Structure 1
Amino acid sequence: MSRPVFRFAPSPNGYLHLGHAYSALLNARMAAESDGHLLLRIEDTDESRSRPEFVKAIFDDLAWLGLSWEEPVRVQSQHFADYHANLMRLWNMGAIYPCFCSRKQALARSLPVRDPDGQPHYGGACRALPRHEAEALIARGNVFGWRVGMNQLGDPQAAVWGDAMIAKRHAGSSYHIAVVTDDALQGVTDVVRGKDIEPATPLHMLLQRLLGLPAPRYLHHDLVRDAEGRKLSKSIASTSLRQLRAAGATPDGIRHQLGLA
């Protein structure tokens, strides 16, 4: 029987905080308890926000916590060809289509239905564009992204996302197609991540079914929150592990604080 494979997959668009520490430590504990593997993956496909100094800080912070992981570390920005190959498979089966609408145009053509992130569903203006016309626009260098043609796929759980954008050509591959591709290529059997990502799971499972990829077991843990009850986030400048370290925090203290001693 093969050993379970867990992964911690942060994005290097800021410094890690206690929420990241909780997820990393929980994955490490579950891997150890099941005699499994722990992988580290750097999800840096958002090239406009990823920074080398944040990548280095991820390694430093996790090592400071006492964690270790198997090598090599998969860095998503080095594997765009893998994501493109799966996008082409999906396009050839008619499951996705290129969308050339700007954000403003997409909002103007949206439907009065919102996805789990609170964004209005795309109205499908580009859905019926003939393939030869779409290919011509791509060849001319028009900016586009890849959307799921959800109305024809018959998945009521994933349908809450509407024609979700799963990759953005001008900004590299987006989270959805990359994470599904990587989990399959790396043999990940258990995805343990925060409840804030739970609504995206039906979309990921839909992509897995379409591509014939195995579906990992999913567990979505509670989020670490601040004194105001907000989930910790880089976007609100939550206290980072680096700041806690500078203030005298210890790895054991962090583990006790998170209930993972």
Structure 2
Amino acid sequence: MQLPDSYAEAGRRPAKSAVKHFYDGGLNVSFKAKSEEIDLNIKEKASDGYPEFQQTLEIKPVSGLSIFSQLTNWEDFIGTLKVASGRLPLVHELSYRLKTSHYTSSLQPPLYEICVKTAYRSESLVGECCLKFPSVWPRIYAATLLGHRGFFVGSKLSFNARQPFQYKYGLKIGYLTKQLELYGGYSSAYGLSFGIISSRGPFKCILFSEWSKSTDSMCSSVAVKYWITDECFLKASLNDCSVLGGSIGFKLSSGMLCFYCP
């Protein structure tokens, strides 16, 4: 049983092939494009004039080395450049991210964030330690997942190294089988959440709900994934605010065409 790669992956477990490909030799080029957050209420969103997008390019020149770049216009970062290397069970990662001007003053250039991460990954234990600076404040992020007979528990902790001292935490518990995943969690920043993931044949259905502390309301979404091959998927989603989303993932390798789920 393949456990999630990190605390954040507990609700979107990657395929075993996605982990395996990171350690394959040769030249591997991956590309992923999304069109998400398209509101079905055209009148309210007519001023936007375009759908939001995400484009990803990942090059793996040698075994155990990944160079990853991403551009998007719907998250708080417009660009990410990441280099990861390692051999199981240890993986090391260095990333540089550029924030959008929406999250910064109009008189200042976009902020950036540098993240240095070391992760330990096995089928029964996952741990991460991450140091981020200086866009918001230096933080240390840690996550663990323990699996025993299908059960897992995950925890997350980050804190402000400057004054005044602040911290955030999260906890997630769940049960995993080959066809079903149930999980629930609590975050000090966002509130309660729970999810159900069911797989049958090439289809995967995902139901997710989260109670927001800031708005004191529940937000839910449902998604369906269809696996064209073991390494290629199409995804469509809809939430209770009538926001429609979709994505596709595939892989190109030297000398042959195959598919890949990032």
Whose relative contact order is higher, 1 or 2, with alpha carbons under 8 Å and at least 6 apart? 1
TM score, norm. by length of structure 2: 0.28
More strand by share: 2
TM score, norm. by length of structure 1: 0.28
More helix by share: 1
